[in-house]
Structure 1
Amino acid sequence: MKMARIRFSIFFSVFVAMVGLMIIAPVMPPLIRELGLSETHSGLIISLGSIAMAAMAPVWGNWSDTKGRKYIILIGFVGMFASYILFTATMYAGLRHLISGGLLVVLLVVARTMVGLFIPAVPSSAQAYMADVTDEKGRSAGMALIGAANGLGLVLGPAIAGAFALIDLIWPLYVGALLPLIAFVVALMLIPTQKSIIREKAPKVRPFQKGVRLYLFVGLATMISIVTLQVIGGFYFQDQLSLTTRETARMVSFGLMLSGVAMIVTQGLQMKRSKLQPKTLILTGSLLLIISMALFLFVISPLSFYVAFFLFGIGTGLMMPGFMTGSSLAVAREQQGSVAGLVASVQGVSAVIAPLLSTILYQLDKHIPFAVVAAFVLLMAMTLLTVKNEPSPSLSVTELGVKESQ
């Protein structure tokens, strides 16, 4: 019963954090135009938030090792609430012409950056908590639960925004401010308080540390693939199929929903059958992702694109728990928060790199972004195949140091 309570509270916490990240995206362009600002301002606001997310994720992960997982999760939700209140109030004041110009832009940048600063506190601490309460055999199922929460937030975040935007464009922001409060209460009531993991100062996990860097590479390939499809998919399908704007929006929305459902179902099955090792999950997912890219590139029809979306969802649904589990098993117990922070940081880095790179490549040739994604994933898979399986340090830092010195 206790484990079921923990799993639900961790799932809900990660889900709310992802919804908080995604709920802004659909209404940001129309809100920016309502405020009389430009697309450049929108890009600046979103990019700085992503940079803040990438920078702070490892910090929150390290703090969860020393301060405790639950404490950092709660701080994350308080910070998200305060950030959304500032962001929503600024938007409201701008729409009512109470503030404008440079002050409006600065306040929006500050508020969106604050959202980026606090959101990674939740997934990094949640991943580390899941590592604390699962053994090596159950780690893959635990990480699949977190991946499913990410996937569900990825799908429902824009859907929630679209539904409440029917009332008014600013209503999704009200929901974005309310959800962290609900999640705070759930986490406070249901997540058991644990003592901090670190009893002696453990070495920080470095991004290029042996055993970790490969799984961060996998995470980067996975997240860049997801963001690239989200960013340039609409342009590509409209150009390839000669669709109207409305037809494009309908197709992309349904395709991304299909992909998200496939991702969630795949991870749900993984939770029940957790026998597959991280390497197997990643390689199987990579193969399906590459096939989906080939379908996008070489078979030009709506049906083939929907099949590609579905395969893409299954592929990423396998790769996400694969790199999360692999990175978790690659470090000692006292370093789970540190490595979880690096995994969360990968998402922020991808959100910075992929939109800029994919749009530049698309202007050169519409096929290049998907080809680059396929090549990048293939390179990652080949690298993974050449690396021998290493024993996972499921020991404390002290025990691990003694073992390595023998």
Structure 2
Amino acid sequence: MTVRPAAAPDGTTPRPQIGLLLGAVFLVFLGQMTLNPVIAPLSREVGLAEWQIGVTISTAAVMVVLTSQFWGRRSQSWGRKPVLAGALALGVGTMTLFALVAWLGMTGIVTGTVLFVLFVLLRGLGFGTAIAAVPPTAQAYIADVTTDEQARVKGMAGIGAVQGGAMIAGSVVGGVLSVFGLITPLIAVPLLLAAGLVLLVVRLRREPRTELIEEPVRVRPGDPRVWPFLLAGFGMFTSLGFIQVITGFLVQDRLGLDAETTGLVTGGALLTAGIGMVLAQGVVVPRSRWTAPTLLRVGGAVAFAGFALLVPDAGGVLLFVAVLLIGLGLGTAMPGYTAGPTLLVRREEQGGLAGLTSATTGLTFVIAPTAGTVLYGVWAPLPVVVAAVVMGLMSVFVLLHPRFRRVPAVPAATVGSAPAA
């Protein structure tokens, strides 16, 4: 990867710690993904309705929307290490308490409205705020040290690849640990976050004050340089949000499984999606050398095919093929969404832009998980149908809008020129 090393005060040029940062991102998302295979059976085990789990996930998304721009800009003004360390410490604390509350719910000590409120406070407000810091900080760092479009796309794909790898590993860890009881993966989550915290505290360098930006620039959602990418990302992640929470319900209801087996098979389904994502971002993106708009076009079309195949209840094989295609398509499109607008803004705008793209992603999960679970209660295939329609519309938009034909080859952030209008 082509990088722009930053000069230290003594004149040396230490190598950027991209690998270390990606390792920390992996551990954070591994903790998050370990919870996914068991969240649906856990809700039924503690007596919460599907919509209540949807509200919990949506609350976390609200916090991502509200805090991502703050975290992105602070990563440039405070530095990456204090931002990530503080966020992970918050994550460790909230998820430790969440595991305790879930155990109290499973034993019947805490039930009903009190349990629901605690789920929202800990998994929603607390963990949502913590994890909101990770993607914008990593994206702003990649944008800061890469100097050409291919390097930028590969760097953003690296973030996606470790997220896909975390999906694979988390699916395995969460699914396998659920065999020993649903509480077991919940205990593993804060331990994984703590490992990421230790890695950052011990190994990540703090930037010299000269590298920091005292007043990072806020990027407006309506900025003509970036809003088409944001709209494309909104459609892409809205489709994903409609099915992410209900995957466990689809597996359990279509295949007629008990709670523990559902956790294992749901883990297998998420594992399949993660394999598709890693193949896309570890093989397709770097070897194809496609531009950001091309990645969005190809990835959107493949993901649409996956959503369409997921609509019919045609057995486990088709379900697994569908989620594989969804992972492959989204894994191809995501680097185009994150890298494309970074090629159009200046360095002091990168933190704000990274926060804005993360907030856009989070915004989709404010409504989509709750809407998906509500629609699932009306008619099981309905949220999948909606997801397929939204993905299809996104694909058409990316194909037709002129902004996706005018992304420059040289990032404005590296040449110091005024951003293109």
Range into which the TM-score falls when normalised by the shorter chain: 0.7 to 0.9
Alpha-carbon separation, structure 1, partners of 2:37 and 2:248:
14
Among 197, 218, 227, which residue is 1:184 paired with?
A: 197
How does the TM-score come out when normalised to structure 1?
0.84
1:308 partnered with 2:319:
no
Which residue does 2:10 correspond to in 1? none
Structure 1 match to 2:71: 60
The CA distance in 2 between the partners of 1:393 and 1:345, in whole Å, is: 26
Counterpart in the other structure of 1:135: 147
Trace 1:230-245 onto structure 2 (pairs within 5 A): 230-233=244-247, 243-245=255-257
Which of 330, 333, 356 is 1:319 aligned to? Answer: 333
Q: Which amino acid in 1 is paired with 2:29?
A: M
Q: Equivalent of 1:280, from 260, 277, 294?
A: 294
Is the CA contact (8 Å cut-off) linking 2:54 and 2:370 kept in structure 1? no
Measured against aligned partners, the alpha-carbon deviations of 1:142-179 in whole angstroms (never above 9, x if no partner) come to 11110011112223224322333333432323221122
CA shift, 1:140, in A, is 0.7
| Alignment partner of 1:157 is 2:163 | no
1:368 Cα deviation after fit? 4.4
Using the alignment, how far apart are the partners of 1:235 and 1:99 within structure 2? Answer: 24
The answer for the alignment partner of 2:307 in structure 1 is 293
**SS in structure 2 opposite 1:85?**
helix
1:19, CA displacement in angstroms?
A: 2.3
Q: Is the counterpart of residue 74 in structure 1 residue 91 in structure 2?
A: no
Corresponding residue number in structure 2 for 1:114: 126
2:411 equivalent in structure 1: 394
Q: For the Cα contact (< 8 Å) 1:6–1:190, is it kept in 2?
A: no
1:11 is paired with a residue of what secondary structure? helix
Structure 1 Cα separation of the partners of residues 321 and 42 of structure 2:
33
Matching residue's letter, 1:62: R
Structure 1 residues 139, 47: closer, same or farther in 2, change over 3 A?
same
Which residue matches 2:25? 14
The Cα of 1:278 is off from its aligned counterpart by 0.4
Helix, strand or coil for the counterpart of 1:316?
A: helix
Take 2:38 and 2:190, find their aligned partners in 1: how far apart are those partners?
A: 15
CA separation of 1:381/1:172 partners in 2, compared to 1, >3 Å: closer, same or farther? same
SS in 2 for 1:207: coil
The 1:38/1:58 distance shift into structure 2, 3 A limit, reads: same
- 1:125 CA drift (Å): 0.4
- From 204, 209, 212, give the equivalent of 2:218: 204
Q: Secondary structure at the match of 1:145?
A: helix
Q: Secondary structure at the match of 1:245?
A: coil
Deviates more, 1:132-141 or 1:272-281: 272-281
Unaligned 5+ segments in structure 1 are: none
1:331 aligns with 2:331: no
Question: Per-residue CA shift, 1:60-101, capped at 9, x if unaligned?
Answer: 112112111222111111111122233234345555676666
Q: Is the 8 A contact 1:5 1:190 kept in 2?
A: no
The count of residues paired between Structure 1 and Structure 2 equals: 402
- The one-letter code matched in structure 2 to 1:125 is T
Structure 2 residue 140 is matched with structure 1 residue 123: no
Q: 1:343 is matched with which residue?
A: 357
Q: Does the 8 A contact of 2:346 with 2:414 survive in 1?
A: yes
The whole-number CA distance in structure 1 between the counterparts of 2:104 and 2:40 is 17
SS of 1:400 mapped into structure 2: coil
- With over 3 angstroms needed to count, the CA separation of the structure-2 counterparts of 1:192 and 1:25, relative to structure 1, is same
- The answer to whether the Cα contact below 8 Å between 1:11 and 1:145 also exists between their aligned partners in 2 is yes
Equivalent positions of 1:25-64 (< 5 A) are 25-32=36-43, 35=46, 39=50, 41-64=52-75
Residue 367 of structure 1, CA deviation? 4.9
Could you say what secondary structure the match of 2:340 adopts?
helix
Letter of the 1:308 counterpart: A
Equivalent in the alignment of 1:23? 34
Query: Counterpart amino acid of 1:319?
Result: A
In structure 2, do the counterparts of structure 1 residues 24 and 337 end up closer, same or farther at CA, with 3 Å as the change threshold? same
| Pairwise CA distance, 1:5 | 7.5
Equivalent of 2:183 in 170, 174, 177? 170
Q: Report sequence identity in percent.
A: 31
Distance 1:11 1:232 in 2: 29
Residue 221 of structure 1, CA deviation:
2.2
- Give the aligned CA root-mean-square deviation in angstroms: 3.5
Cα displacement string for residues 311-366 of structure 1 (whole angstroms, at most 9, x for unaligned residues): 22221110111101113223211121111112222332222222233344456655
The whole-number CA distance in structure 1 between the counterparts of 2:376 and 2:292 is 33
Q: Which amino acid aligns with 1:110?
A: L
Classify 1:127/1:23 alpha carbon distance in 2 versus 1 (closer, same or farther; 3 Å).
same
What amino acid sits opposite 1:162 in the alignment? G
